[in-house]
Structure 1
Amino acid sequence: MNIDTVCIIDDDPICVYGTKILLNHNNFISANILIYEDGAEALINLTSQLDKGQPMPDIILLDLNMPVMNGWEFLDKFHELTLANKPRVFIVSSHFNKTEIEKGKSYSLVRDFISKPLIAKNLNDIIAMSKIAV
């Protein structure tokens, strides 16, 4: 699987900046990095892309705790979309518990939970998991 587009959905500008730097310095991204500050903004823009026949991102890095629409609310809505190519969703959060991990497993798009801050090893794991078919 080639990774052409990564979508970061996170309201923390420091985490977003760090993730962008990490992605760019590790030469894993050849094309696009989409950034949205909350689930609602992401859902509107990704749905618009879908309506225009544009492909979904290959990977979504999703924070859970955001204003307007949190990560769970985003997943509930995003999961309902009919998608030709299904992105791999990685929940990237500063804290999550066993209940959240179990809840995450109920979404077929969620591949794993990763603790913030994202580091190079996490990125390598994401790339490896993304090459495995869903």
Structure 2
Amino acid sequence: MNKVDIACIIDDDPIFVFGTKKIMKLANFCNSFLVFHNGEEALNHLKPIIESNNDSLPDVILLDLNMPVMDGWEFLDEFIKIPCEKEITIYIVTSSIDPMDFDRAKDYDNISNYLIKPISSQKLQEIMSASE
């Protein structure tokens, strides 16, 4: 299985972030993390990196939907407008079981999967296998 270089977690729940980072470390999922607490913070950090063609872009983004300031949907709407040469795999990781959210996720070509929290080491293994 390929190890991800940089994984990005965009989520306002510190317990989820802590747990996910711990599971990622145990699964030897990635070399490093980027963590943002809302979509705006992530966008403000990632946009200049994308525009400068820097290599420090994440390979995988785990995106929560329900966050303050800028939610996951707003982040996606802005993020997909930025031309990017690198393919970044985006997974929605949320506690939302709303069928409308699930259906809406299908409208985005760059979303690889819709995962319900909590995330498990088995799901991380599946993500690593998919990135091979």
TM-score range, shorter chain: over 0.9
Aligned pair count?
A: 130
Task: Give the match's secondary structure for 1:35.
Answer: strand
TM-score by length of 2: 0.92
Write the distance in 2 (CA, Å) between the matches of 1:67 and 1:35: 15
Tell me how far 1:108 sits from its aligned partner.
1.4
Task: Give the match's secondary structure for 1:4.
Answer: strand
Which residue of 1 is the match for residue 50 of structure 2?
50
Residue 116, structure 1, aligned to residue 117, structure 2: yes
Write the distance in 2 (CA, Å) between the matches of 1:42 and 1:127: 22
Unaligned segments of structure 1, at least 5 residues: none
Percent identity between matched residues is: 38
Which residue of 1 is the match for residue 106 of structure 2?
105
Task: Give the match's secondary structure for 1:22.
Answer: helix
Q: How does 1:1-134 map to 2 (within 5 A)?
A: 2-29=3-30, 31-55=31-55, 56-131=57-132
TM-score by length of 1: 0.91
Q: Tell me: higher relative CO, structure 1 or 2? Use CA pairs within 8 A at least 6 residues apart.
A: 2
1:35-64 alpha-carbon deviations (Å, 9 max, x no partner): 000000000100021233213211000000
